[in-house]
């Protein structure tokens, strides 16, 4: 099994990066949609249901599959021999930031359900602020995997 993982390593890494890009696109865009949803749309209007449709499709058709693919290919890389040395620091900083990114994904999912129920309590400013979370985590992840401190 580890021989197979070693032989397909470049492909696994390529697919990991592709999934990461798709996941990140959604993690950046969904909170932006929430900002416009709060600030420019009145509850129960046609635009409200249009935003709900966009948010549902983004989460279900792009972000959920991309997150699962990122995890699968990422774990395949973890089990590829000679790639991760757990005595170094970078795998731990990366793991912590990836768990943070996964938490943020689920936080967005819960907020989406509140919009559907007409029970959003957060302001546009709050969603703008939360939009910085994936940026900060992305910096930690990329410095971890590329600089490998
Ligand atoms: C979901 C769980 C994840 C796991 C288990 C995981 C694990 C890994 C591993 C083991 C590598 C191989 C490092 C190497 O070849 O030296 C890697 C590469 C990489 N990961 Fe992840 N990763 C995950 C999520 C992410 C996320 C969320 C991002 C970005 C936001 C990311 C970005 C990258 C990048 C850019 C590379 C390529 C680095 C290079 O060129 O060597 N990963 N990942």
Instruction: Give the helix/strand (H/E) hosting 116.
Output: helix 90-116
- Ranges of residues in the chain with a pLDDT under 50 are none
Distance CA 48, CA 40 (A): 9
- Ligand 1 probe mutation, 89, 94, 143, most atoms within 8 A of CB: 94
**Atom of ligand 1 at shortest range from CA of 101:** 27
Give Cβ neighbours of residue 65 (< 8 Å, ≥ 6 apart).
none
Measured in angstroms, how far is the CA atom of residue 45 from the centroid of ligand 1? 42
Q: Using a 6 Å cutoff on CB, does residue 20 contact ligand 1?
A: yes
Distance CA 108, CA 126 (A): 12
DSSP state of 89: S
Q: Give this complex's ipTM.
A: 0.92
Q: Across all residues in the chain, what is the average pLDDT? A: 97
| Residue % of the chain over a pLDDT of 70 | 100
Residue carrying structure tokens 């449709």:
53
What integer pLDDT is reported at residue 41 of this predicted model? 93
Domain boundaries, the chain: 2-147
Residue nearest to atom 16 of ligand 1 (CA): 83
What integer pLDDT is reported at residue 80 of this predicted model? 98
Residue nearest to atom 23 of ligand 1 (CA): 74
What integer pLDDT is reported at residue 1 of this predicted model? 86
What integer pLDDT is reported at residue 143 of this predicted model? 98
Query: How many CB atoms are located within 10 Å of the residue 90 CB?
Result: 18
Distance CA 107, CA 55 (A): 14
- Which residues sit in the known binding site for heme? 16, 94
Give Cβ neighbours of residue 114 (< 8 Å, ≥ 6 apart).
120, 121
What integer pLDDT is reported at residue 146 of this predicted model? 97
* 84-105 pLDDT, tens digit each: 999 999 999 999 999 999 999 9
């Amino acid at each position: 099994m580890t021989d197979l993982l070693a032989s397909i390593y470049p492909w696994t890494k390529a697919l990991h990066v592709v999934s990461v890009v798709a996941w990140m696109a959604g993690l950046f865009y969904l909170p932006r949609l929430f900002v416009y949803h709060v600030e420019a749309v009145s509850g129960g209007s046609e635009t409200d249901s249009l935003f709900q449709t966009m948010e549902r499709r983004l989460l279900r058709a792009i972000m959920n599959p991309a997150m699962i693919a990122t995890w699968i290919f990422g774990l395949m890389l973890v089990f590829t021999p000679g790639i991760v040395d757990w005595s170094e620091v970078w795998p731990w900083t990366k793991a912590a930031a990836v768990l943070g990114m996964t938490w943020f994904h689920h936080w967005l999912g819960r907020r989406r359900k509140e919009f559907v129920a007409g029970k959003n309590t957060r302001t546009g400013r709050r969603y703008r602020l939360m939009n910085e979370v994936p940026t900060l985590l992305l910096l930690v992840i990329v410095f971890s995997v590329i600089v490998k401190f």
